[in-house]
Structure 1
Amino acid sequence: MAVYTQVPTEELAALIARYGVGSLVSAKGIAEGVENSNYLVDTTESRFILTLYEKRVDEADLPFFIALLDHLAASSNPVPCALRDRDGVQIQRVAGRPACLIEFLPGVSVTRPTAAQARAAGAALGQMHVALRSFTQERPNSLGPAGWHALAERCGPQLDAIASGLGKRVSDELAWLDVHWPTDLPRAVVHADLFPDNVLMLGDKVTGLIDFYFSCTEIRAWDLAVTHSAWCFSADGSRFDAALGDALIAGYEAEHPLRPEERAAFPALARGACLRFLLTRAWDWLNTPADALVTRKDPLAFLRRLDHYAAL
């Protein structure tokens, strides 16, 4: 469930009135997601998403995210922009939280992608990277290599409570990545979290790229490695689908060809992607109460992915 903050109807109606998009008809909490509170809002004129930013999203980062989405939309990428009210304001305060009223995009997130859908997602990522060549703002990646070390230290010996020997496996992988992590590849702003649930599709067409709240400045090809690790395995990470992997990369390269050095570094980048999600899932696993409404995600699903890339 992802409705952490309840919004009084009267406050929501007053907010909608500031936008000139008709009057409030209904608002329903959206269960998907774990970062923010989201409502599906219908007015007499259209449909929107109201997002309230919870503690994991730093309010100081919101202007960066909004500028990023505005830039991508101006380049015809299918992203949902934050609307401006009559005074030109995009960031509001609702129920004590920073909030944005966001465009609604049609489409659904697929749970078992086909090769055609993976190719379309890869192409959309490539098109996004082309558009971001001219985006000049930057945001540090708090979940890059330095962040992995910090998070592993915070998890500490409790990692072995998830799986015997996991702490040593993580330590060994960190040591390997310290030696093999590339330092001379092109960098850019990246999505950094393009899982299937952050891509909206109608059939084989991408209609929306959403949830840019991990976007940051990082090795550009790492974004493709993150997407590859997210799209090309069974949910538990035990089975790699080569057809999906080939299609995803082919779609990307049709829009944004990889350099030879990016191809050579891809296994290391993918290992870093897997370790990032293993550690963030492990932290959530260890610190989310068992009776919480948020469903914990299995860290070992990314350990199995990591093992695949380590064997390449």
Structure 2
Amino acid sequence: MAVYTDITDEELAGLLADYALGQALSFKGIAEGVENSNFLLETETGRFFLTIYERRVREADLPFFLGLMGWLAGRGYPCPTPIADRAGEVLKRVRGKPCVIVSFLSGLSARRPSAALCRAAGEGLAWLHAAGEGFPLRRDNDLGEAAWSPLFSTLKDAAEALKPGLSAVIEADLARFDRGWPKDLPAGVIHADYFPDNVFFQSGSFSGAIDFYFACTDAYAYDIAVALNAWCFEPDGSFNITAARQLVAGYEARRPLSGAERAALPILAHGAAMRFFLTRLHDWGATPAGALVRPKDPLEYERKLAVHRASPDLVLFGTAA
């Protein structure tokens, strides 16, 4: 989350006039993440979030994202629910940009997840996959494997500036993915950004997930790979096998992995690290001046890439009983 577009009190009042939410009592920008402008909104009827869409989010994708959140919430999955205005519309505009108001989701994210919280997060991810079954819309993963080489072609100089010699290493990784990326794995709706700051807990139990703006149709195991990278590396760059085992065990408590999915996890985790390295490298040099935002360090994921490159089967140790 972040703030790129601020709005005036008059603009907020004009927006809220279309809703049955009452007048605004407080309104505060949130300076986390890198994708959209986000605000915590309290009105006479409760607490909500207002999101103004910008940067990577295409307006044509919004029916998928908003429809998915409504679908999941309708099936009991704890996630923000888009709020309709008096005319039944959920997608609005402010300053010429699309925006939405969603329900407030209670809970706390974990800055340093324990193994127990990793297990709860894994179970929450499998719950999401199950709740998404039958969702009628489809969205291809536009930041999936096919997108990485074209994206890197624009970032070679940035990679060299970050670390001399890195460009050739990344190109070798991309060639490996092109040769051996897994096909025909079980697939459906995935979150694709299941990081600790997007997952909430209460009293040690999973209480919900937020930020569905990378959600898409892709392999379920790829979503697990994203989570393994996000949840199971220590600050010193080492891979926490105990945390990985708990995350996978929590997932399998709701949805057991197939043999093909388990075997694919090493390359999927390596590739998922590439996806976040590339987008962070892009954002590192592209954050607008004056934006209330903190771009994330691409070197964190460069180090994770190095771990997967040096120990390609390491992730599999995290799947052992």
With structure 1 as the length reference, what TM-score do the two structures score?
0.95
Q: How does 1:1-312 map to 2 (within 5 A)?
A: 2-235=2-235, 238-288=237-287, 293-310=292-309, 311=311, 312=313
1:290 Cα deviation (Å)?
8.4
Aligned amino acid, residue 166 of structure 1: L
Inter-CA distance 51–288: structure 2 relative to 1 (3 Å threshold): closer
1:216 Cα deviation (Å)?
1.2
Contact kept, 8 Å, 1:50 with 1:102, in 2: the verdict is yes
The alignment partner of 2:51 has SS state of strand
The alignment partner of 1:102 has SS state of strand
Aligned amino acid, residue 90 of structure 1: V
The alignment partner of 1:287 has SS state of coil
Tell me, in whole angstroms, the C-alpha distance in 2 between the residues paired with 1:254 and 1:273: 23
Contact kept, 8 Å, 2:4 with 2:292, in 1: the verdict is no
Tell me, in whole angstroms, the C-alpha distance in 2 between the residues paired with 1:21 and 1:296: 33
1:288 Cα deviation (Å)?
3.7
Contact kept, 8 Å, 2:105 with 2:208, in 1: the verdict is yes
Tell me, in whole angstroms, the C-alpha distance in 2 between the residues paired with 1:207 and 1:13: 31
Q: Deviation string for 1:39-62 (max 9, x for gaps)?
A: 111111211111111132111111
Contact kept, 8 Å, 1:6 with 1:95, in 2: the verdict is no
Tell me, in whole angstroms, the C-alpha distance in 2 between the residues paired with 1:231 and 1:156: 28
Aligned amino acid, residue 53 of structure 1: Y
Aligned amino acid, residue 266 of structure 2: P
Q: Deviation string for 1:156-215 (max 9, x for gaps)?
A: 233111012110110110111112211121221211010001112223122221111111
Tell me, in whole angstroms, the C-alpha distance in 2 between the residues paired with 1:212 and 1:281: 18
Inter-CA distance 55–308: structure 2 relative to 1 (3 Å threshold): closer
Tell me, in whole angstroms, the C-alpha distance in 1 between the residues paired with 2:284 and 2:36: 18
Tell me, in whole angstroms, the C-alpha distance in 1 between the residues paired with 2:303 and 2:280: 13
Contact kept, 8 Å, 1:235 with 1:301, in 2: the verdict is no
Q: Deviation string for 1:16-72 (max 9, x for gaps)?
A: 232212221111111122111111111112111111111321111111111111111
The alignment partner of 1:189 has SS state of strand
Tell me, in whole angstroms, the C-alpha distance in 2 between the residues paired with 1:72 and 1:290: 37
CA RMSD for the aligned pairs?
1.7
1:301 Cα deviation (Å)?
1.3
Inter-CA distance 255–28: structure 2 relative to 1 (3 Å threshold): same
Give aligned-pair identity as a percent: 49
- Name the stretch that deviates more: 258-267 or 196-205: 196-205
Inter-CA distance 87–299: structure 2 relative to 1 (3 Å threshold): same
Aligned amino acid, residue 169 of structure 1: V
- Name the stretch that deviates more: 47-56 or 266-275: 47-56
Tell me, in whole angstroms, the C-alpha distance in 1 between the residues paired with 2:145 and 2:196: 24
Contact kept, 8 Å, 2:3 with 2:292, in 1: the verdict is no
1:291 Cα deviation (Å)?
7.6
Q: Give ranges in structure 2 of 5+ residues lacking alignment.
A: 314-321
The alignment partner of 1:73 has SS state of helix
- Name the stretch that deviates more: 124-133 or 290-299: 290-299
1:285 Cα deviation (Å)?
2.0
Inter-CA distance 287–6: structure 2 relative to 1 (3 Å threshold): closer
Q: Give ranges in structure 1 of 5+ residues lacking alignment.
A: none
Inter-CA distance 264–22: structure 2 relative to 1 (3 Å threshold): same
Tell me, in whole angstroms, the C-alpha distance in 1 between the residues paired with 2:91 and 2:182: 37
Aligned amino acid, residue 191 of structure 1: H
Aligned amino acid, residue 284 of structure 2: W
Q: Deviation string for 1:138-158 (max 9, x for gaps)?
A: 111111111100111011233
Q: Deviation string for 1:205-250 (max 9, x for gaps)?
A: 22221111111111221001001100111246x1211121111100
Aligned amino acid, residue 267 of structure 1: P
